[in-house]
Structure 1
């Protein structure tokens, strides 16, 4: 039995338990949903190697109906090179991150570029809406929808911050080591396609 199956089952059990806790009224049903949630967390202890308390805090820390998380990424291309930021682990990614609850996805990607790359940008077009589980090699206990925007730099310059230590522009055939949880070479190539196309229809999954 693969760890991927365990992960999928645990995610599904957690989602069912979270929904039950959100909408259940009977006290005995609530107890059962809490127990299912604990079991889901326990299923991830061995494959993750993390203590149960840590897994529970990371995996069972939300309420309400379970929905995918949104991750927004900005593609800024100048002279056929794309802007990437280097994270603390030495890997590189398109500027971006989790969508804040009070932000639209477009406003969020503008904010993330300002925070991570020090740039003021405007969004020009939607490149793609992708399912992380289909497009990125890393596994996640949360279902993630990744949204890529093509952006144009208006002003600003990079300043080191708590999330990123450097920024630079790279050609598609000369990419640095990528943070594959954030973006892949194929996703970056898709951004170049959108940049070069006169008319672009956003890709989606």
Structure 2
């Protein structure tokens, strides 16, 4: 049924578009243009958790990336962040993300105690929807000092290298400075395998 603006019953009626056009703070325009099915502030995080390779005590692992995305139609403000555990934030966090904007941050593991370590990165985004936490996991292992029995992965794998021909005995532990891990000799022979601290990786000199 058509609306007759001259009908006395319509006294005071303002067409919606006129109201929108006269709206000083544009709140009605924002409501009209609101994307269907989207939250105004919505932060998406690329991963729920990050697992780092075994890392020697007080040594730093390689960094891993976390990507933040504003999936909403309003600005997301990052008000505060907290990093727990033996982990390092290797890049700065943005203070805000505009709609559709992304930011990549880097995190590394630097254990100060042995064994499995857990921590996390928490982002306070106020009332924004979406994720705010990434779990961080790593294991601290004994690291041989770089100045004592420290070799590259190529040297450990070379049957003629001193690490395999001089003083090699079962149980001898050296530091693989290429892969940042301890390696233990399975026997005294030059071609005896080297095993990592977890017993999951072996290197047979050849």
TM-score w.r.t. structure 1 length?
0.26
Point out the structure with the larger strand share: 2
Point out the structure with the larger helix share: 1
In terms of Rg, which structure is larger?
Answer: 2
TM-score w.r.t. structure 2 length?
0.25
